[in-house]
Homo-oligomer: A and B are copies of this chain.
């Protein structure tokens, strides 16, 4: 096993959590922070986790990308709404063999990042985790943690698992994080969308938690119908998700505690919504090959309206206070 060095861009609920786990396991980790920089520089991280709480009183914290050392692995933990920053943030950290591990929801970020770093050193990670940043430097990991990692190849082709991925896998396992290495990143991304598209969208549009959506026959049916459209979308990209997967996801959601999706939380806090990554990019990918997804198209339009108004509302509030 090589002891890779890690740079975390976006050290919040996801990046902060996984970075802290890696540091705790003895790996060298460098955290880029923005609003929380001063606090974390002075106090480090407190991780409250279902797998065991721990503190890291001292971490390598930065608020300037140019002060960070080049690293073997760059973990992107930003929301996709911040991806326009990556063309500036990634290049200063690159060594010859650096790989970029993208821990983001949705679809379509990998080809964007390929424009910055080339196509042969991007790994997409799909996280099954429930983690929240409660306050500066304080992260609460309440559920899951598994990451499925697949290499990106041009146009999301199937890509063999390589030694670099096995290496990263070993680092994560040492840190107590389960990893599945996969060859079909696009399939995994579409599978995650089966849940993310209906629940994230409807939770914002209807201002509803998952239990409310599931408790009403009309929206419950609507969720299932939207999931069918996601399967159609995957199929238009030559990826088969079995119909039974829909029932599996409905059953899974029925068992969840009343849950506010990440998009709903973003909306309530006046943050931009991950509409393009989660809805817009998959929609366009399907539309491009002639597959119409009318319900997902309508979710997109409704969310774009709500997002624009929400940002306006919050920015005028910020001006007043």
How many residues of A are in contact with the other chain, CB < 8 A? Answer: 24
- Whether the Cβ atoms of A301 and B221 lie closer than 8 Å is yes
How many copies of this protein are present in the complex?
Answer: 2
Measured between beta carbons, the chain B residues less than 8 angstroms from A309 are 208, 212, 216
Q: For the complex, give the distance between the alpha carbons of A208 and B309 in Å.
A: 10
- Whether the Cβ atoms of A298 and B216 lie closer than 8 Å is no
- Whether the Cβ atoms of A305 and B221 lie closer than 8 Å is no
Measured between beta carbons, the chain B residues less than 8 angstroms from A206 are 205, 302, 305-306
Chain B nearest CB, measured from A161 CB (Å): 39
A308 located at the interface, meaning its Cβ lies under 8 Å from any Cβ of chain B in the complex:
yes
Measured between beta carbons, the chain B residues less than 8 angstroms from A218 are 300-302, 304-305
Choice from B216, B298, B302, B308 contacting A304 with Cβ under 8 Å = B216
A286 located at the interface, meaning its Cβ lies under 8 Å from any Cβ of chain B in the complex:
no
Given known contacts A208-B305, A216-B309, A221-B301, what 17 new A-B pairs fall within 8 Å (CB)? A202-B302, A205-B205, A205-B206, A208-B309, A212-B309, A213-B305, A218-B301, A218-B304, A218-B305, A219-B304, A222-B298, A222-B301, A222-B302, A294-B294, A294-B295, A295-B298, A298-B298
A contacts, CB < 8 Å to B: 202, 205-206, 208, 212-213, 216, 218-219, 221-222, 225, 294-295, 297-298, 300-302, 304-306, 308-309
Shortest 5 CB-CB distances between A and B: which pairs?
A218-B301, A218-B304, A222-B301, A294-B294, A219-B305
